[in-house]
Amino acid sequence: MAQINPSILSADFANLAAEAEAVQGADWLHVDVMDNHFVPNLTLGVPVVESLHKATRTPLDCHLMIEEPDRWAPAYVEAGAGSVTFHAEAAAAPVRLARELRTKGARASMALKPATPVEPYEDLLPELDMLLVMTVEPGFGGQAFLDIMLPKIRRTRQLIEKHGLEMWLQVDGGVSAETVERCAEAGADVFVAGSAVYSAEDPAEAVRVLRAQAENARHTCR
Ligand code: DX5
Ligand code: ZN
């Protein structure tokens, strides 16, 4: 089943509870944490995640675009995140960190920037519940989808199948009605969409449409 995770980066930060409500039926709420070091943008941290967790029943998918995730990521589980994604480029000890996140009760996930290949991480995949293949350079919403990432999505799906893993494959960046099918055909099953959902007149309906598109593409091509 395809999952759609609206990114609140494109929502109104002064009305986060209402913005979470506006995408009822979403599988997860995608929360972009940026520290102005790992990426040239600054968003929110643990206290906001804690409040958001109290304000919505939708589980939180925290995408940490931060330096030193080994030090900071576990606090996001304590704040209520159901899934925590750290970046491979920033983690000092990804296996240890993934195990710590799982032990604390969250799904452990690792993200790859566009220029980071998946192959060096093949042996780590069983330690993860999800791999995030970025389809834009992280840092901002509303950027154009990078088609050149489709082969990496395909190769990641092949590795997951080769090892018989249950893990999810997430894509993030430029996912919209125009691009979601290509991602699904390539093997993604969790889709982050910020501007495509929150710029829609009816965000909840946009989620349903994206999910249906992704489901159809998966069934016809895989
Ligand atoms: C980008 C963030 C994304 C962003 C996606 O660095 O990780 O989650 O919100 O926004 P769209 O869907 O507009 O590309
Ligand atoms: Zn993100």
Q: Which CATH number characterizes residue 84's domain?
A: 3.20.20.70
- Say if ligand 1 is within 6 A of residue 172 CB: yes
Per-residue pLDDT of the chain in tens (222 residues, 90 and over written 9): 899 999 999 999 999 999 999 999 999 999 999 999 999 999 999 999 999 999 999 999 999 999 999 999 999 999 999 999 999 999 999 999 999 999 999 999 999 999 999 999 999 999 999 999 999 999 999 999 999 999 999 999 999 999 999 999 999 999 999 999 999 999 999 999 999 999 999 999 999 999 999 999 987 765
Burial 151-182 (b: 16+ CB within 10 A, else e): ebbebbbebbeeeeeebbbbbbbbbbeebbbb
- Pick the ligand that lies closest to the CA of residue 174: 1
For 158-169, write each residue's pLDDT tens digit. Answer: 999 999 999 999
Mutate which of 10, 84, 130, 170 to test ligand 1's pocket (most atoms within 8 Å of Cβ)? 10
* Angle 151-148-113 from CA coordinates, rounded to 5°: 90
Query: What's the gap in Å between 158 CA and the centre of ligand 1?
Result: 25
- Say if ligand 1 is within 6 A of residue 214 CB: no
- Clarify whether 189 is annotated catalytic: no
Annotated catalytic residue: which of 27, 32, 61, 189? 32
Dmax over CA atoms of the chain, in Å, equals 45
For 29-78, write each residue's pLDDT tens digit. Answer: 999 999 999 999 999 999 999 999 999 999 999 999 999 999 999 999 99
- Clarify whether 172 is annotated catalytic: yes
Cα–Cα distance for residue pair 217/213, rounded to 1 Å: 6
- Say if ligand 1 is within 6 A of residue 187 CB: no
- Say if ligand 1 is within 6 A of residue 180 CB: no
| Number of structural domains in the chain | 1
Q: What is the DSSP string of 67-132?
A: S-HHHHHHHHHHTT-SEEEEETTT-SSHHHHHHHHHHTTSEEEEEE-TTS-SGGGGGGGGG-SEEE
Domain that holds residue 168: 3-220
